[in-house]
Structures are given as C-alpha cells and as structure tokens.
Structure 1
C-alpha cells in the first residue's frame, strides 16, 4: 500500500473540525509526505521515524509542529495496524509525543488594568474578561449580547470563533462538553461590561460583544498590533501573549481559593468522563471565587471600570 495514498484516504475519512483538518493536512503535506510519501506503509520503520524526527528538529521546525507531525504519523500507523498492513506501530520514540511548554508570564492585578487602560477603549473589556474569566480569544470573539447576564454577573460560552488559513471566520462548538459553561465575572467589572455594551457591541441580542472599529468581526491578525502597543505602553517588558491573560486569570483564581476541579470548570477543561458527570462546581462557589477576585481588584490598584475611569474617591 503506497503511503501517500493511504495517508490521503486516512485523513479524508477522519471526522475532524474544519480548522483541525486544515492544520492536519498542512502538517502531513509539509512534514510527513516528503519523507514517507513515495514508499509503502510497511517501509516506515522505527529507525526511519527517529531519523525523520531528528532532521525536522535540526532543520528548525518548531517543536510543537514536530510533536503534531509525530502524533499524526503515530495515529495513522495505529490504523495501519488495525487494517493489518503492518504488525506493529513503528512510532515508539519515548517522549516524542509531547514537549515542555515554557513557563508563561503572570501579571498582577495592577498590570492587568495597566494593559487594559493602555489599549483602545473598545478592547478594554476584552482584556479584563480574558484575565478575570479566563476565556480564550476565540470564545471572547464569538460572544453575543445574549451571552452576557448583567443581573447574574455571568458570561456563557456556547461557541468559539475559528479562522481558516484563507481568512474565513466561523463559529464552532467547544472541543468538549466542559467547554460549554457559564463563568461568573467580578461585580467590580459590571460598570465596564455595561459601558462596553452601550458603546461598542453590535446591536441586537445576537450582536457580537466585540467587533472591530468598522463593525466587522474581531480577528487575531487585526487585534495583534493593538495588543502589542498596549503591552509596551503599560510597561510590560516580557513577551506577553494575549493568551497569557488566561494563564494569569487561572493563577489569580487559584490564589482566590479555587480548587483544581473549580479551575478546570471555569476554564472549560475536562480530564475524564467521570469528572464531567460527577464533579460539578456549584454556582454559589463560583460566585465566591469571583467575589474574592473582586476584592483583589480593589486592593491591587486597578481602576474600577466605568465610562470615565474614575476611582471611587473621585466619584
């Protein structure tokens, strides 16, 4: 069986989300087929896999991409074992399916507000919610007005925005059932949320909460320059990514007393089916966590959100 023909059919028959399929096809085309495509499935040996992986790393291909390529090749060869094309999976390199993620920077509450106050006003709430609800960029970009409960002080995640390489945007379901969730935000952010909905959100219950200056959907590529400028203006010297706000929020919530299970619930993570069925965080406990976050905001030098940015003393 020719490897390229088998790999093409294998990818075609897999049930994958559009963005995942696009990336998997790209990694296969760029990093797997050039080495293995011309031969047969049975020609893939452990020694060849080890040599292939080493050459990718030596050529400067990023470790996350190399790990993804290895994981794809291993999954494909597992299917080849099931199809009785080979007897044993040759992808048996210890540690090749994972990599150590470098420690990401964590901001203080005051630094979060410094960045939020340095960015364009239409993106201020985006920064604050990323830090204090730990929502991902795609989840924030997909939020609609009806997902914001001002009375209950919650944000409900029902979908996430994804962008294909050709620039097309689409909303997709979260990766797991745990991704659909309601997350409380501190009462200290209510003024900022209300102000944003009044001045910057698209109209109608189904209007996007965050849109660009011309009213179009939020894009990572268009937002990146605003983020970098705000980070530098706030005096943050570390190479801070927007996603690091999620890491910051997780750390702050942990400091506020959240358990591992509660953190996983807020972040939309799941470790096993049993955890999803039997271990749920109560809304009362979620509120207690966000109340502690609110106290940290008041004590951390953050400006209480409002149209004017006035502190309580100035009011």
Structure 2
C-alpha cells in the first residue's frame, strides 16, 4: 500500500516531509508563483525559514529570487538612458562606464581579470567590488604614468622652444621641432628655462578611480531602490574621495602670461582667459554669454548674468541649454582687472547686436571645446608653459582667489553656481601664501590685544 506523505499547511505556504527526517518549505509569492524555500533536517527550521519569507511578503520587502539576475552592463545602460542628465554629464558617465566599470581590468598579482559588466547584480558583493577597486586603482595609476610620460616630453618641448628663443634660434610656435634643435638643447645641458613651469608629478590617477567608484556606487544605490540588490556593495571607505593634490592651481602671473600669448587669431580670446580666471564661470557658461548678459554697474564695473550654458557634445551640433543646476543661474561681479579686459573686448570683437555672443569665432559662431583647447594650448606654448595646465584650472584659480579674499562658503557657492557644500569645497584650495598671510594676521591680532599670559607662573 502506497503511503501518503505527511504535510503541514501554513498561511500562504506549506511544509511537507519529503522523506523521513527531511522537511521542505514552499510558499506562493505575490506574483502567484509557487516556489521552494529550501529543505531542512528539522521541521522547526523549515517553519522559521518559511515564516521569514512570509514576513517579508507582509512587510512589502519581499524580492523574487530571480531578481538580480540582470547583468550590471544591461542595468547600467538602462539606468543611464532613463536618467535626466546634462549632455556633457552623460558623456562623462559613458566614458567612465566604458573605460573603467564595464570592461575587463587586470587584478594585480593574480594573473586574471575582473569584469563587473558581465556579472549579474546579485553576484556583485562587497568582496567583488573590493577586488575590482584594487584593479581599478592599478589601471588608473598606469594610465596616469603613461600620461605623465607624454606630458614630460611635451614639457621638454616647451623648454626647448623657450631656450631657442633666448638663444635667438629660429623655432616654430607649435608642431615638431628639428632633431638638430633638440640635440643642441641637450648639448647645452637641457636647461629648464620655460617660465612659470607647472609640475604635474602629483597626478596619480586617484581622481579617475574616485569618479569611477562614485558612479558605480550611485548605480548600485538605484539598484537597491529598484529592489534588485539587498544592500549597496560599494562600502569602501574613502573610495570616492578625490585627490586635491592632483589639481594644479596656476598663479595669477601664469594666467597673465598665457593671456598675453593669445596673439594673432587667438587675440579675440585673450579676455576670455582673464575673465575665466577671475569669475570662475564654467567654460560652457562663459562661451554662452551674450552682449546683453554683460551689465555695466558704474565706475567701470561689470556684472555678468549667467542664464544659460553652451552644450558641446562630441559628434553633435552645438546648442544652448540651462546651466548645470538652478544655482547656476546667477550674477557674477568682475573685479577691475577682468572688467577692463572685458569692456575692451566688447568694443573690439563683439558684435553690437544684444544677442551676439561675447566670445565667438571671427564669424560670430560659438567656440567648440576642441577649438578652445587648441587655442589654449597654443597660448601656453607661446608663453613657455608646460601643457598640464587645463582651462578648467582657471575656475579653480578664481575660487581660490575668492576664498583668499575672505569669501564665506555661502558666497563661494553663489559665485561658482553650486547647490551643495560638497561641490563648493572641491574648489577651496589652501595655499602656502594664504597660510603665511593668515599667520601674519594672527600675530597682528595678538599684538593688538596684548593679552596677559594667564599660563605664566610666578618665579
């Protein structure tokens, strides 16, 4: 006679004895599908496991076991496609995903690779992220080393040109130089004569690694909200922290030298260099300014009304859109040096039409990022500056100038168009000169107060 196996019913599920001493718990999920919880040696263990699942159903925290099977590559692409992002921000995220997150990276010391893009979300644990982060740091460090090697070669070229000019030797402002000129420079002892040389040895790749980690953490955070992950596996302390030392802040004299080197067809952008270094406007904001955006405030003063930004994405036509955030819509006053340069520029280069671009090409068209970089590189070369200085460093200089002038954090946020304190803090760079002036003010304050030494003991 065939015996009927015993079964004990539970709400929305049941526990049955599959064979003597083995208990299987099953349940019906919110989607109506019948699923097993597992098989246990004790009825009490099966009941506890079933109770946990049913409690998750009642609390609304239940996830189907199949969730999390989607590969990170697929989820990240979908995540990127549905988010409302500025075109330049989206372009940057695509670059980080393709180069560092959804690609195979070598894990140092193991002889193997890790590719997060191929893994299902549920397989991305803290341990997996930690291993990827080690590989990421090694990859970005190697990339930085290669970049520095190229920059040193370019810096040598700047010294060769500067030496050639001092030696009254003919030399081109750009392009390749004759081997004989290089050899003559080496025979002279390879003199480092380029003025205001900027060193980039602090570049380690840490900033790129931090940006890639921060993006992965954001993607995983949304996967948690989508209930595809139980918890965010990106919990590395300091993983998203950038390295301020990697940002080279130019001195005012360096900027003046570069601006003065904007000659010939680049003269029409001389004021743009000066205004960027004093206003702190983003490049997109600066090159979207119209004549009507410039307000004279009396006594030669100027106020810039920032209401839009130039949208320049590679492979797409130039357009105009709102600033990076609502905080980007602001007014920025220029100090006298920048105001004078801008007013002279308006008289000489800007069309009288109120809608005309303040800084435009000779035909009145917007200046693309590639054209701006080319113009800036030529000016740096003429000024004898090494190439590791970038246009965005002018914004950092403007922020540093404002902070050293005593701007509060709120004033700095308003001037730079930041909506968060964290974003503004990135631009608050401490300098040795600033610290020296602080020490002088501290000493002057102490001398003025002439406070008695309350810690002095009687003899």
TM-score interval (norm. to shorter): 0.7 to 0.9
Question: After the TM superposition, which residues 1-315 of structure 1 pair with which residues of structure 2 at under 5 Å, given as runs?
Answer: 1-3=69-71, 4-34=73-103, 35-59=115-139, 60-61=142-143, 62-102=205-245, 103-108=247-252, 110-119=253-262, 120-151=266-297, 153-236=302-385, 239-271=388-420
Report how far residue 156 of structure 1 moved: 1.1
Write the distance in 2 (CA, Å) between the matches of 1:250 and 1:29. Answer: 32
- Relative distance call for 1:71 and 1:206 in structure 2 (3 A) is same
Write the distance in 1 (CA, Å) between the matches of 2:137 and 2:308. Answer: 35
Select between 9-18 and 132-141 the one with higher mean Cα deviation: 9-18
Task: Give CA-to-partner distance per residue, 1:27-58, whole Å, 9 cap, x none.
Answer: 32443333133332111111111112222332
Query: 8 Å contact 1:2–1:38 — kept in the other structure?
Result: no
- Relative distance call for 1:41 and 1:128 in structure 2 (3 A) is same
Report how far residue 87 of structure 1 moved: 1.8
SS in 1 for 2:413: helix
SS in 2 for 1:16: coil
Q: Is the radius of gyration larger for structure 1 or structure 2?
A: 2
Report how far residue 167 of structure 1 moved: 4.7
Question: What is the TM-score when the length of structure 1 is the normalising length?
Answer: 0.76
Write the distance in 2 (CA, Å) between the matches of 1:256 and 1:37. Answer: 47
- Greater percentage in strand: 2
- Greater percentage in helix: 1
- Relative distance call for 1:42 and 1:150 in structure 2 (3 A) is same
Report how far residue 143 of structure 1 moved: 0.6
Select between 158-167 and 119-128 the one with higher mean Cα deviation: 158-167
Unpaired segments ≥5 residues, structure 2:
1-68, 104-114, 144-204, 425-459
Write the distance in 1 (CA, Å) between the matches of 2:221 and 2:229. Answer: 9
Report how far residue 268 of structure 1 moved: 1.6
Count of aligned positions: 272
After superposition, the CA RMSD in angstroms is 2.6
Query: 8 Å contact 2:86–2:324 — kept in the other structure?
Result: no
Report how far residue 111 of structure 1 moved: 4.2
Report how far residue 138 of structure 1 moved: 1.6
- Relative distance call for 1:67 and 1:172 in structure 2 (3 A) is farther
SS in 2 for 1:240: coil
- Relative distance call for 1:259 and 1:238 in structure 2 (3 A) is farther
Query: 8 Å contact 1:150–1:190 — kept in the other structure?
Result: no
Query: 8 Å contact 1:133–1:184 — kept in the other structure?
Result: yes
Query: 8 Å contact 1:154–1:184 — kept in the other structure?
Result: yes
Write the distance in 2 (CA, Å) between the matches of 1:235 and 1:25. Answer: 35
Question: What is the TM-score when the length of structure 2 is the normalising length?
Answer: 0.54
Report how far residue 215 of structure 1 moved: 3.1
- Relative distance call for 1:22 and 1:191 in structure 2 (3 A) is closer
